[in-house]
Amino acid sequence: MAEVYITGHRNPDLDSLCSALAYADLKNLTDPDNTYIPVRCSHMGEDIRTLLQVLEIDAPEYMRNVYPKVSDVMLTSGMKTEADMSLSECARLITEKTPSAFPIFDKGEFYGLLSIDDISIWTMKNLADFGEITEIPQVRDIMREQAEPLQADDSFEDGKNAFLNGSKRGLAVFRGDEYVGYVTRRCFLNTPRYNVILVDHNEMSQSIKGLETANILEIIDHHRLNAMKTSIPLFIDAEPLGSTCTIVYQLFLRNGLRPSLKTARILLTGIVADTLILKSPTTTQTDIGSAYALAAMCRIDLEEYGRKMFSNIEGLKSRDPAEAISSDFKTYSEKNMKIGIGQCEVTTLKDMNDYCGIYLETLNDVKKKNGLDWALLMITDVISEHSILLSTACKAEKQLPYSVTDEHVYDMPGVMSRKKQLLPEIINAL
């Protein structure tokens, strides 16, 4: 039985979060031999958090990275060896299990690690001094000085390195100041690998930290393909649909399964959000068919549900610019340039002159902070299907096919999709 983590991209949007939740549900139904756990690999923006609350959807748990950790290889002893146990009692336990080190408790509390060296050193010394062992000591009396314990979240490499110096047989593992287990040298023979499924993205730079050390089992996505080299064969379902949730719904159908009502509503949420209520040019007949089928299943009026979702979006004027820009920000590497493009949805562009200046300024900070060559922000009015584009100063900026309304501000009527409409023009301009 293995654990498999399903994650969307960093700065998760609703499609990323919802497709992870729904796909985990599907995988747990079709493959009960393994456990599929939906996670998110970064923090959520304020607007997404509020929206999830309004829609009564629980976000996947946050997972910092998939680097192998000490906790992945640590042992927890079934032996309850007490500090006041006699050495002969202890010896009987050891010959049964032959561990090189194991934990000793004092009235249930962790006392320290006893290593096989503690026992042999004591025995040798007694034999050398007296020629025989006259008195049997308690375990606590022969334990030598304890080494600094490891932390459960320490990396596997750090844990392994802790054994490089000296002749330690084992090390205790703590979480904070609580004992949780112990490790011996043998624990570090094989590096464990996390199992990961990527949804709604396929690029390393947008994914969970430590992915290069993990097994990527599957990719379910609707973005351009710029995937990493993988170490094992994998299942990929990449389709040019409006939402990853549509692909996940199609996979339910292909498996002859119907999503539960809860999952149906989660899928619907992802589709409505990513297709901007089925109005984005990325929307296909499959998205429309899937969305209406799911809405019917949940007895939800699709348009009303969409309006309710988007009416919860606060105007950019009242939001913190840095937070708004980073809430849906993606980075790309193209023609040796590092580019970042953010997108914000609004329900009107009438107030844009009130905030354009401060957003342009903040965009420059974001560019510097992230070591980017070019940063852009697309502000999309989902009602009138119209976007404006803010840009940091860049040579390629002049090549963009949009009309300039102000310095570094461009008008993009009818443009709603970063991926399908803006990104190809950016690459062209470069």
Closer to Mn ion by CB, 200 or 373: give it.
200
Please enumerate in sequence order all residues whose Cβ is within 8 A of that of 155, keeping only pairs 6 or more positions apart, or say none. Answer: 67, 68, 69, 70
Closer to Mn ion by CB, 200 or 381: give it.
200
Residue 16 CB, shortest distance to Mn ion, in Å, is 6
Position of minimal CB gap to Mn ion: 15
What is the distance between the alpha carbons of residues 246 and 264, in angstroms, rounded to a whole number?
11
Closer to Mn ion by CB, 15 or 118: give it.
15
Residue 413 CB, shortest distance to Mn ion, in Å, is 23
Residue 178 CB, shortest distance to Mn ion, in Å, is 40
| 180: enclosing H helix or E strand | strand 178-184
- Among 198, 261, 234, 181, CA closest to 41: 198
Interacting residue ranges for Mn ion, rule: CB under 5 A: 15, 200, 244, 274
In the chain, the N- to C-terminal Cα span, in Å, equals 48
Q: How many CA atoms lie within 13 A of 137 on its CB side?
A: 12
Residue 176 CB, shortest distance to Mn ion, in Å, is 37
| 217: enclosing H helix or E strand | strand 215-221
Residue 298 CB, shortest distance to Mn ion, in Å, is 20
Residue 15 CB, shortest distance to Mn ion, in Å, is 3
- Among 378, 377, 427, CA closest to 400: 427
- Among 333, 428, 325, CA closest to 379: 325
Residue 326 CB, shortest distance to Mn ion, in Å, is 17
Closer to Mn ion by CB, 206 or 263: give it.
206
Task: Give the number of other CB atoms < 10 A from CB of residue 375.
Answer: 27
- Among 132, 133, 180, CA closest to 153: 180
Closer to Mn ion by CB, 273 or 389: give it.
273
Closer to Mn ion by CB, 184 or 275: give it.
275
B/e letters for 192-208, b = 16+ CB within 10 Å, e = fewer, are eebbbbbbbbbbeebbb
Residue 274 CB, shortest distance to Mn ion, in Å, is 4
Are 354 and 372 a contacting pair, CB within 8 Å? no
Closer to Mn ion by CB, 287 or 397: give it.
287
What is the distance between the alpha carbons of residues 367 and 383, in angstroms, rounded to a whole number?
29
Closer to Mn ion by CB, 100 or 421: give it.
421
Residue 218 CB, shortest distance to Mn ion, in Å, is 16
Q: How many CA atoms lie within 13 A of 426 on its CB side?
A: 28
Provide Rg for the chain, Cα atoms: 28
Sheet hosting strand 374-381, strand order edge to edge: 329-334, 337-346, 374-381, 386-391, 409-413, 403-406
Closer to Mn ion by CB, 213 or 387: give it.
387
